[in-house]
Amino acid sequence: MGNRLLKLMAIMFISALCMLTINIKAYQARNNYKAESTEKTGVVEAMYKLGDDDKKKDENPKIDYSKTSWKIQSLYKDDKQWEKELNRFSKDTRELKNYIGKVTKSQTHLGFALNIKEKLDIKVSKLSAYVKLKRDTNKDSYKYLDMNEDLNKVYSDYMEICSDLELEILKLSDRDYRKLMNNKKISKKYGMYLSDIRRSKDYYLDGKSEDLLVKTSSISNLPGEVYELFANMDKKTNLTPAQYASEIESEDRENRKKAYQGEFLAYNDNINTIAGLLVGQVKKNVFYSSQRGYKSSLDMYLQSDNINTKTYDKLIKTVGNNTDSLHKYIALRKKALKLDKVFYYDMFVPIVEPVDSNIDYKKGQGIIYAALAPLGKEYGDILYKAFNENWIDVYSNDKKVSGAYCLPVYGNHPYILTNYNNSLKSVSTLAHELGHAGYEYLSSKNQTYYNSNPTIFTHEVASTTNEALLYEMLIKNSTNKKEKAYYITQYLDLIKDTVYTQTMYAEFEKTIHEMVENDENVNALVLDDLWGKLLKKYYGDEYQLDQLAKVGWSRIPHFYNSFYVYKYATGCSAGVSFAEDILKNGPENYINFLKKGSSDYPIDLLKSSGVNLNSTKPTENAIKKFDILVEELEKLL
């Protein structure tokens, strides 16, 4: 039921909500870009000196906003046209409703119904994208909140129709279903969609009960929507998100401590309310999973990707049992910064002085071109399009939400939101989001609509593969020990933040769901205590846990997109493996993986491309990479 839109909404989350695309129309720059980008040129000029000529003319070039902001007129000319299309969409859903009661009578009727639904899904994803993009660049405007509410009402009605359609499809006998799947015209376009419905047959309820659950869908989103309003509009702090991100990395310990306290106190002052929202989210999941007959909330969420809960449990066990190198890295941080203990506010300051702290956007593009050159010309052409055809809203401003994401729009190019601040982290974030965009672009160009809907599980592979390639290139082309040490710390932080930290988040999320499923009381104190224990488990003895750090769980928006965070960890693990394979054997295998879109289930797509996430090998490989990098760093410090 609206799987593409639900997954699309998930892709839009920060920190990595993720995801991307792009196009390089003149691969050789159209003049200077050279594939032999392994030649050392020093620091972050990174082999492609994009913008150097401009810099000679003007040491402080003005930003050309004509290429650094979205142009969403390709979706709708203006808000009025959006409103007209929303009304038209609402009317068009009646055409699909007319087929309810007929689709099991003949394959022809079903084929027509599926064709109508496909067109409606494309339309509603476009409607959703427009209001999302507008809202996130006008966050203080209630107009787009109202438009979003109007969309939700129409979408809820549409979901009821889709639910009725899917219930009818479920009534097909096994014999009729096999005959349907043998119809190549239908199975080629709709095979995965029909398979998803059939696979979830045991979890559908009778007509009235199913309708009731569908009608509550808009209500069930309230915990996340209220949390988003608090985090983006009502939270009272002295620093903007961009300022906080800068201050928490300050060399001045008092500055970063003040930033930390200001940010965390804003959440702590509302901790019981936020706890109520998160527990409400968990209780919602427990209710839906129990009503539908799933073994657990985790089982319900993993079923959508056809993933076994053992894969989730193996990740937590494998990472949790291999934290020695992470503890060693934190000990190196303590030594390098000359600290008695490492507090939360000491975890983000560079332990090696940045080699270039002012990477303007043009130079950042050049670094990305060079780092992703191993992916070949076809991928390079996508990058060019992204940079030059207004796919990206680049810079922070008061009206814009924090974070970064990629929003796919079928039949159009993807849109990327970043808050670029001239740091290497900004470059890495942009490369990450371009990974999402490239995946969407290649998928939609090579697959039908229902097969061009990569899941978040595989999306995070595409994004972190780009980041891994970025750091591999920078480390390889470093010209001195200082550069190399700095780039190693950046790669270490990528693995720390995605494999280790996101697995810690995943363990927290699983535990609180199990508590509610076992009728245990969960409140702010319980959540604080659990978070504190996990911080000590993952970060070790050199990490000093203070009371304020225990409220860290309250700052994670991804918890309202349940059982999402583990996909960062599996994605990074697979991304490290893919990056190594690309550099060793070329891009063909990986590009083919991207082009397959969602034509098979995530685990099977990855397995056919040489990365088996049913095993612990990819996770162990990422941990091994972390081990090697820690040893290298220790020698350089």
Quickly state the pLDDT bin for 208 (edges 50, 70, 90).
confident
Query: What residues does each domain of the chain span?
Result: 72-222, 251-347+481-636
Quickly state the pLDDT bin for 31 (edges 50, 70, 90).
very low
What pLDDT, on the 0 to 100 scale, is given for residue 62?
57
Cα 144 to chain centroid distance, Å, stands at 23
What pLDDT, on the 0 to 100 scale, is given for residue 388?
95
What is the Cα–Cα distance from 93 to 121, expressed in whole angstroms?
10
Identity of the amino acid at 167: L
The answer to whether residue 61 scores a pLDDT higher than 60 is no
Mean pLDDT value of segment 289-316: 96
Closest CA to 303 of 602, 629, 624, 622: 602
Quickly state the pLDDT bin for 3 (edges 50, 70, 90).
very low
Neighbours of 54 (CB within 10 A): 13
Closest CA to 443 of 606, 594, 605: 594
The answer to whether residue 7 scores a pLDDT higher than 50 is no
Mean pLDDT value of segment 159-167: 92
The answer to whether residue 109 scores a pLDDT higher than 60 is yes
Q: Count of alpha carbons within 13 Å of 155, Cβ hemisphere only?
A: 24
User: Bridge partners of 342?
Assistant: 543
Global pTM value: 0.85
Long-range contact pairs involving 32-36 (C-beta distance under 8 Å, separation at least 24): 33/369, 33/373, 33/380, 35/373
Mean pLDDT value of segment 243-262: 95
What pLDDT, on the 0 to 100 scale, is given for residue 63?
62
555 three-class SS: helix
Quickly state the pLDDT bin for 240 (edges 50, 70, 90).
confident
What pLDDT, on the 0 to 100 scale, is given for residue 356?
80
- Note the pLDDT tens digit of each residue in 170-189: 999 999 999 999 999 999 99
CATH topology of domain 251-347+481-636: Neurolysin; domain 3 (1.10.1370)
The answer to whether residue 141 scores a pLDDT higher than 80 is yes
Closest CA to 444 of 433, 454, 452: 452
The answer to whether residue 22 scores a pLDDT higher than 50 is no
Q: Between these two residues, 395 and 43, which has the higher pLDDT value?
A: 395
Give the orientation angle of helix 588-595 with respect to helix 566-585, to 10 degrees.
140
User: Bridge partners of 416?
Assistant: 392, 406
The answer to whether residue 27 scores a pLDDT higher than 60 is no
- Note the pLDDT tens digit of each residue in 110-129: 999 999 999 999 999 999 99
Separation in Å, CA 189 to CA 115, 117, 518, 622? 9, 12, 42, 36
Q: Which letter does DSSP use for residue 206 in this model?
A: -
What pLDDT, on the 0 to 100 scale, is given for residue 48?
37
The CATH-assigned architecture of domain 72-222 is Up-down Bundle (1.20)
Q: Answer for the pair 430, 446: CB distance below 8 angstroms, yes or no.
A: no
Please provide residue 340's backbone torsions phi and psi, each rounded to the nearest 5 degrees: -75, -40
Mean pLDDT of the chain: 89
Identity of the amino acid at 517: E
User: Position of tokens 């190549």?
Assistant: 184
23 three-class SS: strand
Name the percent of the chain lying above pLDDT 70: 90
- Note the pLDDT tens digit of each residue in 489-504: 999 999 999 999 999 9
Tokens read off for 357: 């702290």
The answer to whether residue 333 scores a pLDDT higher than 50 is yes
The burial class, CB within 10 Å (0-12 / 13-18 / 19+), for 174 is: exposed
Closest CA to 461 of 586, 596, 347, 299: 596
The answer to whether residue 43 scores a pLDDT higher than 70 is no
The answer to whether residue 229 scores a pLDDT higher than 60 is yes
- Note the pLDDT tens digit of each residue in 566-618: 999 999 999 999 999 999 999 999 999 999 999 999 999 999 999 999 999 99
Q: Answer for the pair 375, 587: CB distance below 8 angstroms, yes or no.
A: yes
- Note the pLDDT tens digit of each residue in 345-378: 999 999 999 888 799 999 999 999 999 999 999 9
Neighbours of 228 (CB within 10 A): 16
**Pairing verdict, β 415-417 and 392-393:** parallel
Neighbours of 184 (CB within 10 A): 9
Among the ranges given (308-312, 398-402, 446-450), the one the predictor scored with the smallest mean pLDDT: 398-402
Identity of the amino acid at 316: I
Q: What contacts 123, CB < 8 A, 6 or more positions away? A: 85, 89, 92
Mean pLDDT value of segment 71-78: 94
- Note the pLDDT tens digit of each residue in 375-402: 999 999 999 999 999 999 999 988 998 8
Long-range contact pairs involving 87-92 (C-beta distance under 8 Å, separation at least 24): 89/120, 89/123, 89/124, 89/127, 89/154, 89/158, 90/154, 90/157, 92/119, 92/120, 92/123
User: Position of tokens 């300050």?
Assistant: 250
Q: What contacts 326, CB < 8 A, 6 or more positions away? A: 496, 500, 538, 539, 540, 626
Q: Which letter does DSSP use for residue 62 in this model?
A: P
Element (H, E) at 315: helix 309-320
The answer to whether residue 631 scores a pLDDT higher than 90 is yes
Closest CA to 49 of 325, 370, 512, 372: 370
User: Position of tokens 């961009």?
Assistant: 242
What pLDDT, on the 0 to 100 scale, is given for residue 182?
95
Taken in order 483, 432, 46, 249, is the CA torsion positive or negative? Answer: negative
User: Bridge partners of 382?
Assistant: 23
What is the Cα–Cα distance from 406 to 225, expressed in whole angstroms?
19
637 three-class SS: coil
Q: Which DSSP string do the residues of 319-333 spell out, in sequence order?
A: HHT--HHHHHHHHHH
Closest CA to 469 of 375, 382, 595, 383: 375
Dihedral class, residue 418 (left if φ above 0, else alpha if ψ from -120 to 50, else beta): beta
